[in-house]
Amino acid sequence: MSSSVLISEVGPRDGLQSIASVMPTAAKRRWLDALHAAGLREIEVGSFVPARLLPQMADVAEIVAHALTLPGLRVLALVPNVRGAEAAITAGAHKISLPISASEAHSLANVRKTPEAMVEELRAVAALRRERAPQMGVEVGLSTAFGCTLAGRVDEDAVLRLAVACAEAGADEVGLSDTAGMANPAQVRRLFTRLRAELGSRAGAAHLHNTRGLGLANCLAAFDVGVRTFDASLGGLGGCPYAPGASGNVVTEDLVFMFEAMGVDTGIDIHQLLAARTPLREGLPGEAVYGMLAEAGLPKGFQ
């Protein structure tokens, strides 16, 4: 099995859109620069959504333009529909992600459409991509795949059927997201094993939350069954505004430390990654950030 992983930083999107504070554009640029300097090579930099709904994302096109100047960086953006995809294509994003939820209750709260309607939206986005930007990647992270704060248990067979439908509709990759922070390691192993059996190389990232303290354990469980791409947020910033109580993305610094301590290469300089917390704090004064590594420090002699 591969001894390297890709850490996809989602703080500038998932983190910033989950809090009331608005980080100034100049501060976002400094934060992106610091993340890139630490070695992160895929960053979800924002969402192409109406500014009246998410003022935190009003400058997303400008942020994409800045991110495109950073060498070797894959610039990812979230889009909820065809209109968002058109804007992302115009801005030049390398990859787009659609928020399709396995829970109908969460889907209606989040995007005001059923999961089935979102699959049709994905089909339209994939057609637009073929026509206007064939080089652009399209991925789906299935939200609430492990449970929903609004609806409770989510049927695993339904999750797999939805994943297959997304792949058939044109997604290059389909990952699983623990939006509500309800997953446990046994469940993560089981569902990602089934996802990989269904989709093969099109099985995508693990997007896991630390809401109930199982974030790293769940990441390790996903790694053990072959997942090699993990979403994480610097300082544990973020959650989901439409999943009550679902705070706490997996902390990028803690995840990188875990993998590097295991001898799994992340390509990230952990010292510079910790330093990237400074522009985050400066850009969001008063906002809480988290992380056990930042609190305890690196062990003596850590290489």
User: How many separate domains does the chain show?
Assistant: 1
Q: Quick one: CA dihedral 103, 86, 136, 49, positive or negative?
A: negative
- Residue 113 structural domain: 6-296
Q: What is the pLDDT of residue 239?
A: 66
pLDDT at 242 over 60: no
Output the average pLDDT for the chain. 94
Within-domain flag for 103: yes
Strand-pairing partners, residue 296, are: none
Within-domain flag for 155: yes
Which residues are within 8 A (CB) of 76 and not within 5 positions of it... i.e. 6 or more apart?
8, 13, 42, 43, 44, 45, 93, 94, 95, 96, 97
Within-domain flag for 303: no
Within-domain flag for 140: yes
CATH of the domain at 22: 3.20.20.70
Within-domain flag for 302: no
Q: What is the pLDDT of residues 257-299, one digit of tens each?
A: 999 999 999 999 999 999 999 999 999 998 989 999 999 999 9
Least confident span in 61-75, 129-143, 162-176, 236-250: 236-250
pLDDT at 105 over 90: no
C-alpha 140/C-alpha 286 separation (Å) is 33
Within-domain flag for 73: yes
**Cβ–Cβ < 8 Å for 129, 170:** yes
What's the pLDDT band for 18 if we cut at 50, 70, 90? confident
Q: What is the pLDDT of residue 2?
A: 59
Residue 75: alpha-carbon gap to chain centroid: 12
- How do beta strands 173-177 and 74-78 pair? unpaired
pLDDT at 23 over 90: yes
Catalytically annotated residues: 240
pLDDT at 246 over 50: no
Burial zone of 274 (CB within 10 Å; 0-12 exposed, 13-18 middle, 19+ buried): buried
Higher pLDDT, 242 or 148: 148
What's the pLDDT band for 33 if we cut at 50, 70, 90? very high
pLDDT at 300 over 70: yes
- Helices marked H in the chain — which ranges? 25-37, 60-67, 82-91, 104-111, 115-132, 156-169, 185-199, 215-224, 252-261, 270-275, 277-283, 292-296
Strand-pairing partners, residue 230, are: 7, 206
Within-domain flag for 54: yes
Q: What is the pLDDT of residues 41-63, one digit of tens each?
A: 999 999 999 999 999 999 999 99
Within-domain flag for 301: no
Q: What is the pLDDT of residue 248?
A: 80
What's the pLDDT band for 111 if we cut at 50, 70, 90? confident
Q: What is the pLDDT of residue 241?
A: 55
Q: What is the pLDDT of residues 130-162, one digit of tens each?
A: 999 999 999 999 999 999 988 899 999 999 999
Report percent pLDDT > 90 for the chain. Answer: 84
